[in-house]
A and B are shown apart, each in its own frame.
Chain A
């Protein structure tokens, strides 16, 4: 069965791109969220196998969302989507329980590779 993914990003272009890459490669995108609050809600509701999480978002940032999702489900598999220059934040997110990260602008193979590793 294909793995179910929740995409979290406040940029619609970013969500569409990630969605495009994942759906073409056998993943099922079960939901999208545009901020941390929605992300936590949708995680509880959809229990996806994987979450891609943007860091900078309105309402609630990615790191806070990671904390709340991990508190709800310690086995949640979350991959951070980060920009250059946010190294301290990435470290914080991983300490909060994110499994890995990808750096924007990313190439499709890189996303898939990172996801494969996290889903092992």
Chain B
């Protein structure tokens, strides 16, 4: 029989992903459980679900030799079991100790996977947990009338390491129970295995002492080895993919292969025709080949489009993966601040690119903290204002075109613009006499270092401000916006592209070059006769449906030169956080899906350009970074002055 040792490393990434999911679920279950503290009797399914999740964590960590994780999961599972069997009342105390246990479990999984030391305070917690469970376990054992040996097993399995002889003893106990139950068993069942086991202890079960020692030594060696190549153990990034999506992809690859064969057939026929001197390659032979090649190319185009779509779908995961951890966050922050907050989540099933999902968690977490900390008022204040004592924060995600929109809104204070203004003046960000629109005042909160909080609270005032949130969102090619009504609440809106790799773009011609403008920032394109372009303070503007829109000539911005059209201008209106700017180009070349290629580091960062793409005909086109282009132009002050001159 093969006596192999597991290569545990290949399972560690799966373990981490699986544990992460289970821990999220444990969190959700605990939150639901907490709702029953008042009545004292939880819905059995919640406790069962909790029990199963902990049980699975225990089993998997045990297989991988993560003893600390296994031990803690076991103890928490025990606690749930007491709850499940009504041996322990559901109380604030029991829920709190479970919540704390869940957090330690999360840290332990991380430290096991990354081979870092166990979290601080673990021993303390384990002690508290034992003490807590001890009270109820004693009574329950008396009630249940467990045999002495069974109690030993419970204790043993909670111990740090499960030794081979403990397992052997456990298995012998089962055999004994089976023998006792003997006659009740259906005769057909389990004769060979069980009968043999009863007659003589299973060889594997009661291993000779020498084997046990050898196994222990092997385990020790393995641990040492694992510690040595710890870097190799660090788990890679994985993604769970719906098998249907992979099947679609596989089918498409099948079609690619068929096409490859067709094309190489055509190629070899062609080369035979060229090499065969006897054949003068009459039109009659080439014609059908050309047709065949065209068909094949068309089918190739269709297939590669579909592959592109499918592979993007493979990278898509529901945003719920991020949302799941928020109920707990909101609960903890609310509790710490003495507030009552209800978090309503919708659209958790909305899909978006895995990379974006991973990145959007931090900013969202910060926004939610902010809502609880600064947005929602304390229960008494709310009552005095005629609001419900419990504040509501809504987290909502949905698709809109090629974008995903995430909204975080609360029914709290709203942003106090007067306070923002006062703070801005105090911090020297604006002058005391500056006249600023409401929107500009709100923009102030995105300034680095800005905070309206008088004292830095331990919740949101950690030096991470809204400026960082905005920077994170901008880095993801997203747009971040705030709407606020004083006294009624605040709404943050985040618009993100579904994927960072492929976008819809409007191709425009400027002088002799083609530029790509991401379609999600394009509002419309216009042809305007030159007389309709007015000049304000030396800057060109147009009036569009009553609104003054400043123009920005791309040719001038990039200093391309070129002659101006004496009769008309072609304008692409782009929108950015409520502002509109008209980009002047020389011609429109239609929409196209483009693959973004980053510019090489050698080229460096070019203001106004976010990358390049290769068009269907092999030509290279630069992608315009609307955000940096517009802010660059605004920074020059020219366009801004035109906009606010009150034309």
Contacts and interface: CB of A to CB of B under 8 A. Distances in A.
A113 to B, nearest CB: 5
A90 B192 contact: no
A12 B18 contact: yes
B14 A57 contact: no
A104 B173 contact: no
Nearest to A91: B177
Contact of B153 (A25, A75, A85): A85
Residue among B63, B185, B190, B196 facing the most chain A CB atoms (10 A cut-off)? B190
Contact of A84 (B65, B170, B188): B170
Nearest to A94: B190
A94 B56 CA distance: 22
Contact of B192 (A10, A84, A117): A117
A104 B215 CA distance: 16
Main secondary structure of the interface of B (DSSP, over half): helix
Given A84-B153, A99-B189, A103-B170, A112 B178 contact: no
Interface in A40-98: 54, 56-58, 74-75, 83-85, 87-88, 90-91, 94-95, 97-98
Contacts, number: 130
A83 B58 contact: yes
Contacts of A17: 6, 11, 63
A82 B162 CA distance: 14
A108 B6 contact: yes
A120 interface: yes
A21 B11 CA distance: 13
A34 B366 CA distance: 36
Interface residues of B, number: 50
B192 A120 contact: yes
Q: Which of under 10, 10 to 19, 20 to 34, or 35 or more describes the interface residues of A?
A: 35 or more
B633 interface: no
B78 to A, nearest CB: 9
A37 interface: no
A110 B177 contact: no
Contacts of A120: 192
B194 to A, nearest CB: 7
Given A25-B2, A87-B153, A109-B204, A13 B63 contact: yes
B370 interface: no
B56 to A, nearest CB: 5
B168 to A, nearest CB: 9
Nearest to B158: A85
Nearest first, the 5 A-B pairs at minimum CB distance are A100-B193, A84-B157, A13-B60, A105-B62, A11-B56
Interface of A: 10-14, 16-17, 20-21, 24-25, 54, 56-58, 74-75, 83-85, 87-88, 90-91, 94-95, 97-101, 103-110, 112-114, 117-118, 120
Given A12-B14, A87-B150, A88-B177, 19 more contacts: A13-B14, A14-B59, A16-B11, A25-B2, A58-B49, A84-B162, A84-B166, A84-B170, A85-B157, A91-B174, A98-B189, A103-B170, A105-B59, A105-B65, A108-B3, A108-B4, A109-B204, A110-B204, A113-B203
